[in-house]
Structure 1
């Protein structure tokens, strides 16, 4: 509930925040289609990061792609009843956990070894990386070692969360660490730098069309102020 309400609140805040100036970064798209293509390249390929630093791009892309595939595979635990056959196709995604962990280790090492990155890094930056890293490592331990857990119990608990039908959890320590830290991450998400996930779609440097020379750009709140001013001016002229 903290995650859902917190994310909805932040997205609404981003949505209503005015962007009174045209500030897209070069090379700027001249059409809305160009904006969509640019945003797609940024979200899928991390285009600007690739141009900035190849090592940071490599570790960041490995982590995000690995995390996405792991989350897709985890969807089976929340699926009510018997699983469709399509979930059999995502079973190989379990190896994406290694890409996720390698990417996290690279990003953490970057913050420690690169002086200019270390200088601007706050304790929360390290703690967030370590938190996700421990979640990933504990997941790898459960998947690829003999320390397996009862996936039937996990599915019963996870699907019960959606219907408020509480079920018992497995009691293995590594699983409890994994799920507790995952819940902690969800609770911290709406107040952390991880908000770049929805935030990128609201970034005026990325989502604006460079058409300032073709038409006037004015925010809704500024337009209302201008219209109110024009009404008052007409009323004043009418009285005179």
Structure 2
């Protein structure tokens, strides 16, 4: 078991490095990508405050998806809300003492896990049942959905069927912060669950899941509709104009 514990410790170090480095690299590319045109999706706000409000509605309520397809919106929102609750509940394994708001979330984590799986099942069924979506679905789309569902199902099984030592799990992850390798329970389902989570961390920066931070850099969402009031000039175009002057 000492060998498995060491393997999983280095696996999570590697997964965390890939996740953080990949996100930093991708976000830097998004931030440095030129946006030479004024292209907000109309109807769009005309002020910066309006843009902030629009982005808030987009992040919390998935406003554009609601307008585009109600069924996709329902399952997408259920999944993301469930994932949000599950993530908050799992924070207890990484902090000590556990913050009071995280303590309040604990009784609802199970419902979040169920909501997550229901939402994912609906989104995956859509890729088989809707012709136009099935046509554009790549193998990677099915892989990510299958991975997320397996993470949710294995997590619920660890909770309800194959119980494990949650105190030892927390001790293991807190030990990683101090670069100490502490014993990890040898339960096969728990090891599978953790392996799937590590795989998700590694794949995240190189998959369509990157729409999470990418949304904030979308010119169709983060621009105000004010081309008449204020001329939109990309930094590189401004330098060209100054050079000609």
Report the CA distance shift for 1:224/1:40 in structure 2 as closer, same or farther (over 3 A).
Answer: same
How big is the shift at 1:183? 0.5
- Is it true that 1:120 corresponds to 2:136 in the alignment? yes
Q: Where does structure 1 lack aligned partners over 5 or more consecutive residues?
A: 231-240
Q: What corresponds to 2:3 in structure 1? A: none
Aligned equivalent of 1:90, options 92, 105, 114: 105
How big is the shift at 1:88? 2.5
Q: What corresponds to 1:167 in structure 2? A: 182
How big is the shift at 1:85? 4.1
Q: What aligned pairs does 1:1-240 form with structure 2 within 5 A after superposition?
A: 1-80=17-96, 82-94=97-109, 95-145=111-161, 147-230=162-245
| Larger Rg, first or second structure (1 or 2) | 1
Contact 2:75–2:123 (8 Å) recurs in 1 = yes
Contact 2:88–2:102 (8 Å) recurs in 1 = no
State the TM-score, normalizing by the size of structure 2.
0.90
Q: Where does structure 2 lack aligned partners over 5 or more consecutive residues?
A: 1-16
How big is the shift at 1:220? 1.1
C-alpha separation between the residues in 2 aligned to 1:19 and 1:166? 46
C-alpha separation between the residues in 2 aligned to 1:206 and 1:162? 37
Contact 2:51–2:223 (8 Å) recurs in 1 = yes
State the TM-score, normalizing by the size of structure 1.
0.92
Question: Number of residue pairs matched?
Answer: 228
C-alpha separation between the residues in 2 aligned to 1:226 and 1:162? 51
Contact 2:116–2:152 (8 Å) recurs in 1 = yes
